[in-house]
Structure 1
């Protein structure tokens, strides 16, 4: 009798198109045992491209576990499920190419005596794959095979993380390996108070779609209040870095954050946001006050491996 496997897959893009990544996992359908986990950053891509890449990774992992398995694919992307099931037409060229790639894996499973079917599920039922896709968007590559899965010895690839190794507060800001095509992302949040701090937290949550690996705050009273709201929204604790409390310390603090890699949210005073952004743009210090940084506003910057810097947005509320 063919082995029964369940693939759960997801993908996301922060900006759509923007910084994208996918996540996928394979379970034993009968026992629920986790057999494989995958995640990877995709650079700049659309949400639908990321969803398809998650599907391909999940199908490929299932095929590696048992080429002739009976596979149930569960995803919260109605588009991918309906297109792969043949009920919806595929009009976009990128989607068509990815669907053909996925179908190549499906045909290999069928040729070995297996089968594949698709089931749409609400996002709330796809949390594990969603968490992996956020790892991908944070610049992490995950390739974990568990006992009973494919034979890679259970060793994670360089740049991956293990669920058992999730760091406590403080260590959450450990370095993240950088990969070509994946930027370091920094979101500067101007400190605020009261409702403005709460609004800032909601804005960060909408922007990132998941918790960053690192949340820093300057240690000032307003920064601590704002960071507490942001941390509650994202489910992480803030780490105090006093260098973010003064404009003079901003360039050095900025370079440390970029060197760390991944995605970092920094809550600090307006003058420090201006100084950090001015440093990125190469502006003289006497012109930094021309940059807008309203209380509770967000400024987003991406730093690519080739040294290019992109200011994605400023003074967003």
Structure 2
């Protein structure tokens, strides 16, 4: 990339990335940095402990994280990638073939994040890659100590004056790294649980399940979906996306799919409860019009609203969906986009809590939670109702 900037007149970014493995293969991690190509301003940092992988895999994971972070800031930018890995630079530049089976899908994924004509690769000596190298080592140190890497400095993004409507998206805060697995427990399957963004019914607190209308996201809900997507892209650990079939979830999931270069797979059993005759009404309206039905519903999770579905029935189908997803995505990190009841159900199942626990949890629109499932049958709640990416 020359100093003349993006031929289209857009922004220019520099991505610095590094990966390391203590043992090769051994405990590994990556670090990545995004800078403004003209001012050198630090725009984003990313790092993650990867468990036991090779150095080359860690290098590619660092590259992917850096490109995702850049794409989250401005997907139309031109990017210069600087790495001290000759292998990655030559392979991604097309001068060397990617032969190793572990590297082929990673190289292919990296190529999906920006059009080939807008990314150039440059090898740099290790001494010029100190920032990304430091982040990679911090991630490995944290992972081996059973902790998640935490950024030491806030991420900042410059705002383009020509895009005032994107102000809310200009500074997407990275999600907490609280779903990273302890280093000594093996590789879990991680469900990152995202409740859909707001619809017109959400702020009115109306029952909106799978038995009534199928509302779209409101403008505010679409903004929430984009902010969540930007945060996921910055973190760079989502490997698959699964969604409820309802429109508000599909739209929320698609925002993340677009940011991450992934497809959305529909899981019917992740739909919201059918609230029957309560659909479209507020709690106060149900209390006024159907007081006996409401009292019975609140008294027992086995009781369904008239014409609807009980929480016990929802729990059965959500548990079955959980088992299918665990079999399909074993050892991977999956974004699960769903609704209040299915997400609360996945959380309570992980905790071994009774169905009545559903009444004691609050879940905000576009909030993120995370649950990890281990091969020995244990599960761990790593994050619940986090909305920091929306602020």
TM-score category (smaller protein): 0.3 to 0.5
Q: Which has the larger radius of gyration?
A: 2
Higher strand content, 1 or 2: 1
Give TM-score, length-normalised by structure 2.
0.39
Give TM-score, length-normalised by structure 1.
0.48
